[in-house]
Structure 1
Amino acid sequence: MPTPPNPRELRIQDFHYHLPAERIAPEPLADRAASRLLVSRAGVISDKTFRDLPGELPTDSLLIFNNTRVVRARLLAKRPTGGAVELFCLEPVAPHRALELALQQTESCTWRCLVGNGRRWKEGPVSLAFSFAGQPATLWAERQAAEAGGESLIDFRWQPASLPFAEVLRAAGHLPLPPYLHRPDTATDAVRYQTVYAAHEGAVAAPTAGLHFTPEIIAELAARGIATGHVTLHVGAGTFQPVKAEAMADHPMHSEPIIVQASLLQQLLAHQPRPVMAVGTTSLRTLESLYWLGAALLQNPGTTPAELEVSQWQPYADGLAPTPSEALQALLAYLDATGSAAIEARTRLLIAPGYRFRLVQGLITNFHQPESTLLLLVAALLGPGWRAVYDHALAHGYRFLSYGDSSLLLPG
């Protein structure tokens, strides 16, 4: 048996392919389910449409969706002189770091933001006039501290002060479309850059594998007896972060919050050892992170909620390797002991060739950018066969990236 690659030593340039600009889908199709579906089953590739998906899945599958909802996190403010400043809200800092609490905050708050055109913003607040319920409203933003990578801590305040910050973003903000689309968001994006099952606000990028699903397809899954469940991973801007390091050892993986209800853990446990299918890389990272959280709890039962985090290299270190059922049972025991209804944690998990999957046996996903961590994840699942999948997609006219076509990857 060949020795698996060491993910730290992988060179990102080995995961390059040529993606012509015209193959990047600039707009969604009029019909979500009309997208094409490449099926790779144990290395055998076939061409379908997304409406064929329910019939292509193993009949005893459990399909896991990420039910995060994209927030309108881009704010286009003005300096007193009239110059524009763009603020991209990344994560809350004060008075709450917990996302759901931060979005319900009234009057004022502090967020870490990416700042566009910030060099001319020397001091003082910038402002954004908007309307809420037909009445005039104003948001002010003041830079507290600049950080590395163009990020800054931004103090926000607004009138009417009684508005939750979530309502401010809905009324004043714009959807943060992927930067490679090179266009402003539209009324169509407001609907189509959300999944039909989106429920919990907090993402700044859509879990795009789910954009193809319609209520009719979800109903057909149920009619065929294919079980479904939901996790929440609030997709961060780091999903677009390019890998600039030559070797993966020097690439810092971004951190994202995950929330998984006890009922889903019980569903996963009862489903073992039948196949679990992830809808999208975010669902997959969440599911695999659950395994490593459970493994960590078995090693250190005294772990506090603040310490619940999967590190980038945790799966590649020597240590306890429980069965998936043991890891899930450890999570349920932790929830029982703490009186919690859900696991709330963070993950920096990097899945790359050399990774051994614990909970997931298949993936539904779009086609990803060259030299990206998402492509590394696909390569970890398929092995060297990832190139055949991408070569086929390029040769047969598939559309790529967020608004592009889909694939069902079953390694066999």
Structure 2
Amino acid sequence: MKTPAELFDFPLPEELIAQYPPETRGGSRLLLADRKGSARDLLFHNITELIDDEYFIVINNTRVMNARLEGFKPTGGRVEIFLLDKISDFSFTALTGGKVKEGTEVNVGEAVIKIEKFLDEGLRIVRFLTHTPEEVMEKWGHVPLPPYIRRDDSEEDKIRYQTVYAKEARSVAAPTAGLHFTDSTLEKLRNKGVQILEVSLDVGIGTFRPMKADHLEDHRMHSERYHVSDETADRINSLRNEGKKLICVGTTAMRTMESVTDEKRITRAGSGETDIFIKPGYSFKAANALITNFHLPKSTLFVLVCAFAGREFMLNTYAHAVAERYRFFSYGDAMFIK
């Protein structure tokens, strides 16, 4: 008998995991998944034909940090530092690879970073001794490609693993549904009267972590910072009152909107942290449609899309995507669930 978590598993050939972005931004395929029960194979540029001024769109404008740092101890031993959350101007929480002790100083390029303190769950506090974190990431940092992309990062990734509307660098993973949008696509939508509003959610390391608990209720969701401005919240409420339908671009935008919208469907401005875990049985308060990539088996993100569209429908839709050789995960193809 399958455990509840295993109900969200599905077979995925490894060769369908995209290792590179499409040749041109926006050149991906698009699977239109209608929750009434149908699926259509399209191209992403068709998105401008599918969305009109009946809808408005919310995007996540976070930028990915060059969070992976490679350095060396004074003894010559190699150390990797993966920056996570900023604590102060010169301190971050981080994960480390390689043998280090509290107090170890690591040379990254011309900078020196001290492993200041060990925390629970393998986390460290690191302090930048000679340069600011921003300087170090800009000069010597690497793009933190997900672990299922089995290659080193390149200069191209510094462009293609960011959305065209990315702003402040605070995330360790991209809001990947947004990678498909070009400036031209956004302009075409605006010209059709579709309003595009921005929120921020800083994507954390938990996005890569599969569920380990057998039961969904036992899974502890990672917490991520969000920000919704007064202007954005007011506009969302106004558009909803006009009868417009909300399309979330990505699960991060959806998690943000569901975190800041109450049972009366009123969206509140503010900054904070959310650890919302959207699973079957959840009553959606904000989102009417979702643009998203294809997610990992047994992941919280696949559980989320199952909550939104129905588990059986999503399993069947993913089986169709596998059969039609869609590309999966961060650099893969897109799905529009409406």
> Scaled by the length of structure 1, what TM-score is found?
0.78
1:246 equivalent to 2:218? Answer no
Matched, 1:50 2:44: yes
Return the letter of the residue paired with 2:207: T
CA deviation string 1:325-357 (max 9, x = no partner): 3xx3xx3xxxxxxxxxx6111100000111111
More deviation in 266-275 or 395-404? 266-275
Structure 1 residue aligned with 2:30: 37
Q: Secondary structure at the match of 1:154?
A: strand
Tell whether the 8 Å contact from 1:40 to 1:409 is kept in structure 2 after alignment.
yes
Kept in 1, the 8 Å contact 2:171–2:203? The answer is yes
Shift of 1:11: 1.5
Q: 1:317: which partner in 2?
A: none
Relative distance call for 1:346 and 1:120 in structure 2 (3 A) is closer
* Equivalent-residue separation in structure 2 for 1:194 and 1:61 (angstroms): 25
Q: 1:375 to 1:61 in 2, by over 3 A?
A: same
What does residue 324 of structure 1 align with?
Answer: 265
Counterpart in the other structure of 1:403: 331
Q: Give runs of ≥4 in structure 1 deviating > 6 Å.
A: none
Deviations 1:199-218 (A, max 9, x none): 12101100000001111111
**Equivalent in the alignment of 1:275:** 245
- Distance (Å, rounded) in 2 between the aligned partners of 1:92 and 1:226: 35
1:79 maps to a residue whose letter is K
1:392 is matched with which residue: 320, 327, 330?
Answer: 320
Quote the offset at 1:122 in angstroms: 6.7
Between the aligned partners of 1:56 and 1:396, the Cα distance in structure 2 is: 21
The alpha-carbon deviation at position 110 of structure 1 amounts to 2.0
Match of 2:161 among 193, 197, 200: 193
Distance 1:221 1:12, change over 3 A: same
- Are 2:95 and 1:114 equivalent residues in the alignment? yes
Q: Which residue of 2 aligns with 1:316?
A: none
Q: Which runs of 5+ in 1 are unaligned?
A: 1-9, 97-104, 130-137, 296-321, 332-341
Aligned residues of 1:63 and 1:228 also touching (Cα < 8 A): yes
Aligned pairs (5 A) from 1:9-408:
11-41=4-34, 42-93=36-87, 96=88, 105=89, 109-117=90-98, 119=99, 121=101, 123-129=103-109, 138-159=110-131, 164-272=132-240, 273-291=243-261, 295=262, 322-325=263-266, 328=267, 331=268, 343-383=270-310, 384-408=312-336
Separation of aligned partners in 2, 1:270 and 1:110: 40
1:357-410 Cα shifts (integer Å, max 9, x gaps): 101000000000000000000000111211121011011110000000000001
Q: Does the Cα contact within 8 Å between 2:33 and 2:337 map onto a contact in 1? A: yes
Contact 2:51 2:189 in 1 (8 A): no
Alpha-carbon separation, structure 2, partners of 1:376 and 1:122: 38
**Mapped partners of 1:77, 1:121: distance in 2:** 15
Alignment partners' CA distance in 2, 1:215 and 1:120: 44
Query: Do the aligned partners of 1:79 and 1:121 also contact (CA within 8 Å) in 2?
Result: no
Counterpart-to-counterpart distance in 2, 1:282 and 1:75: 25
Structure 2 residue matching 1:377: 3-state secondary structure: helix
Question: Do the aligned partners of residues 125 and 266 (structure 1) sit closer, same or farther apart at CA in structure 2, a change above 3 Å counting?
Answer: same
**What per-residue deviation string (whole Å, max 9, x for no partner) do you get for residues 186-210 of structure 1?**
0110110000111121011000000
SS of 2:121's partner is: helix
Tell me how far 1:180 sits from its aligned partner.
0.8
Structure 1 CA distance for aligned equivalents of residues 314 and 18 of structure 2: 21
How far apart are 1:120 and its partner, in Å? Answer: 5.0
Q: SS at 2:26's partner residue?
A: helix
Deviations 1:156-193 (A, max 9, x none): 2114xxxx432221112111000111211101101100
Shift of 1:124: 3.0
- SS, match of residue 82 in structure 2: strand
Answer yes or no: is the 8 Å Cα contact 2:52–2:192 preserved in 1.
no
- Distance in structure 2 (CA, Å) of the matches to 1:343 and 1:232: 11
Q: Quote how far apart the aligned CAs of 1:243 are.
A: 0.7
Secondary structure of the 1:186 match is coil
What is the CA deviation profile of residues 281-312 of structure 1, one whole-angstrom value per residue up to 9, with x for unaligned ones?
00000111111xxx4xxxxxxxxxxxxxxxxx
CA contact 2:102–2:116 (8 Å) conserved in 1: no
Query: Residue type matched to 2:86 in 1?
Result: P
Structure 1 CA distance, aligned partners of 2:122 and 2:300?
A: 21
Code of the aligned partner of 1:48: L
Name whichever structure is richer in helix by fraction: 1
Give 3-state SS (helix, strand or coil) of 1:187's partner. coil
Q: Highest CA radius of gyration, 1 or 2? A: 1
